[in-house]
Amino acid sequence: MVGFIGNVESFQADNTVKLHLKNGGEDGTSIIPFKEVVNSVDGLSNGSKFWLKPWLFTGDLQTMYLGAADYSREFQVWYGRRLIEFPDGGSSTADFAIPKPESTEDFYNIAAKTLPSGWPKQHPRTRFFTPEELSQQPSNDTKPLVIISHGLGSGSHAPEVRSIVDKLTNINGFEVVVLNSRGCSRSKLTSGELFNGLATDDLRHFVKFIQNIYPNRPLFGIGLSFGSTVLVNYLGEEGDQSPFVASVTLSNPWDMVDSMYRFPNRFLTRFLFQDVTTSYLTRLLKSNRETLLKEGLITEKDLKHKYTSISDFDNRITAPLYGFPTSWTYYRAASSINRIFNVQTPLLSINSFDDPVVGVHSIPTEEAKHNPYIVQLRTDLGGHLGYIQSDGDSWASKKICEFFKNFNDLVDTTKKPETDYIKPVSRYDSKLHY
């Protein structure tokens, strides 16, 4: 191994939840602690080391490289797209990983025919399913299915997403689908509703849809950056009724207030993340101008406003749209740290000490010790969604995929974990809001 050495620290309860082994285990043992499943992945146990690209030796450089490098020839994933309609009249898209087509010419000919009127050209290797393909999609098979929630302003096309999809689909038996947030990944808005950290109903609706067409598939969840916020909030709301058998978050901004305070105070954070994301959010408004104006939820003044930061956008658009007086009130309410003790799905969380977006103070190392469903890994290198190694690929994405493979190989996912965990309750809980 060559490169700059990173280190792994692990934080969890003394007794993590006990998972049932398939076939009772080779040695007759019927259960395995969740922590041991994590440890079964080489490189994820406490004190492990990993190697990153030598000249990407800070979180800023890791994050900058991920955003600037040309990954167009890497992770050549192909997607079949499906329109997902929500009860409120809004919609999004779900991109299902599919095998490479025998004829790329035929693929793009079909893409031209299935593209909805008024929609932009889709990302490379992505097209809508035909009606016949949609009718053939339901299945009673038991293949494990991974649902990915992407980062802010990202989507199925992002390299950090494709890196994971590429690996999972090459592991025997795994299926993968990326749920794109409303208006993301060249999707059109069909209502005035946008995405936000508390918008878990979209994920909830989609999961129920997936359970309907794949009733026997065990479900795994991945949240990347902002997608982690949505996923953990969802897991916390679902509690012991969560349909996911295991989940992973990478670079979760656990405390959104802490993250948002960092943006204007660090030049590289502002340059690497805030300016790019603010520009994306502005384009999202303008590209869906007619729909948003028709719904009456924004005005021409909102469209013409020159947004200078994510907070500026959220203060003018997101917060009032969902009844929050300020963007900071929204950030406090939406922070997934608020729901960490409600999570009752085995959750592996990976954060880096040098993440320029999240920051070290947001990583819930102490909280993880009080919820046996959670193993929190903290690395000293990696940046935000980075972890770029000498081969240009991500150490984190490799380990996430290995974790899911080991979990699926070892654990009987038809049985609930065993634990005596009771959510801690403060005498002041009734006084807390957000």
What does the alpha-carbon distance between residue 112 and residue 103 come to, in Å, rounded to a whole number?
Answer: 15
Task: Collapse the DSSP code of 308 into the 3-class scheme (helix H, G, I; strand E, B; otherwise coil) and give the result.
Answer: coil
Please give the order of strands across the beta sheet that includes 91-98: 49-52, 4-12, 374-379, 347-352, 244-250, 219-224, 145-149, 175-180, 91-98, 78-85, 126-128
Q: 178 - beta bridge partners?
A: 95, 148
Provide, rounded to the nearest whole percent, the portion of the chain with pLDDT above 90.
76
Provide the pLDDT confidence category of residue 28 given band limits of 50, 70 and 90: low
Listed residue (411, 382, 387) closest to 397, CA to CA: 387
390 tagged catalytic: no
Task: Collapse the DSSP code of 273 into the 3-class scheme (helix H, G, I; strand E, B; otherwise coil) and give the result.
Answer: helix
Listed residue (1, 200, 182) closest to 83, CA to CA: 182
pLDDT value of position 24: 74
Q: Please determine, for residue 417, whether its predicted confidence score (pLDDT) is greater than 70.
A: yes
Highest-scoring range by mean pLDDT, 202-211, 274-283, 350-359: 202-211
Q: Between 27 and 159, name the one with better pLDDT.
A: 159
Q: How far is CA 307 from CA 8, 188, 312, 343, in A?
A: 38, 21, 6, 35
Contact predicate 156/150, CB 8 Å:
yes
Q: Exposed, middle or buried: residue 193 (CB in 10 Å: 0-12, 13-18, 19+)? A: buried
The residue type of 7 is N
Tell me the pTM: 0.96
- Give the list of residues 6+ apart from residue 52 with CB closer than 8 angstroms, or none: 3, 4, 6, 62, 381, 382, 387, 388, 389, 390, 395
Contact predicate 260/226, CB 8 Å:
no
What does the alpha-carbon distance between residue 186 and residue 188 come to, in Å, rounded to a whole number?
Answer: 7
Phi, psi (degrees; rounded to nearest 5) at 34: -55, -40
Query: Tokens 């991500």 appear where?
Result: 394
Q: What is the DSSP letter of 340?
A: G
Q: Token pair of 263, please?
A: 């943006």
Provide the pLDDT confidence category of residue 1 given band limits of 50, 70 and 90: very low
Q: How far is CA 264 from CA 8, 312, 400, in A?
A: 29, 11, 31
355 tagged catalytic: yes
Tell me the per-residue pLDDT of 33-78, one tens digit each, with 9 for 90 and over.
999 999 999 999 999 999 999 999 999 899 988 988 889 999 999 9
pLDDT value of position 293: 87
- Topology (CATH) of 4-255+335-431: Rossmann fold (3.40.50)
Strands (E), 373-414: 374-379
pLDDT value of position 433: 65
Contact predicate 71/388, CB 8 Å:
no
The average pLDDT across 101-120 equals 95
pLDDT value of position 386: 96
Contact predicate 206/94, CB 8 Å:
yes
Tell me the per-residue pLDDT of 77-102, one tens digit each, with 9 for 90 and over.
999 999 999 999 999 999 999 999 99
Contact predicate 174/273, CB 8 Å:
no
Q: Exposed, middle or buried: residue 111 (CB in 10 Å: 0-12, 13-18, 19+)? A: middle
Q: Please determine, for residue 292, whether its predicted confidence score (pLDDT) is greater than 60.
A: yes
430 tagged catalytic: no
CA 24 to chain centroid, in Å, comes to 32
Strands (E), 168-283: 175-180, 219-224, 244-250
Provide, rounded to the nearest whole percent, the portion of the chain with pLDDT above 70.
96
Q: Between 366 and 427, name the one with better pLDDT.
A: 366
Task: Collapse the DSSP code of 135 into the 3-class scheme (helix H, G, I; strand E, B; otherwise coil) and give the result.
Answer: helix
Listed residue (416, 414, 417) closest to 142, CA to CA: 414
- Give the list of residues 6+ apart from residue 414 with CB closer than 8 angstroms, or none: 218
Q: Please determine, for residue 172, whether its predicted confidence score (pLDDT) is greater than 80.
A: no
Q: Please determine, for residue 154, whether its predicted confidence score (pLDDT) is greater than 80.
A: yes
Tell me the per-residue pLDDT of 333-371, one tens digit each, with 9 for 90 and over.
999 999 999 999 999 999 999 999 897 889 999 999 999
Q: 146 - beta bridge partners?
A: 176, 220
Q: Please determine, for residue 271, whether its predicted confidence score (pLDDT) is greater than 80.
A: no
pLDDT value of position 272: 66
Mean pLDDT of the chain: 93
Q: Token pair of 302, please?
A: 């909102």
pLDDT value of position 273: 75
Provide the pLDDT confidence category of residue 382 given band limits of 50, 70 and 90: very high
Identified catalytic residue from 20, 150, 157, 384: 384
Q: Exposed, middle or buried: residue 427 (CB in 10 Å: 0-12, 13-18, 19+)? A: exposed
Provide the pLDDT confidence category of residue 434 given band limits of 50, 70 and 90: low
Q: Token pair of 392, please?
A: 């240009």
Q: Token pair of 213, please?
A: 């067409």
The residue type of 165 is V
Identified catalytic residue from 10, 91, 225, 311: 225
What does the alpha-carbon distance between residue 44 and residue 284 come to, in Å, rounded to a whole number?
Answer: 38
Identified catalytic residue from 156, 355, 362, 393: 355
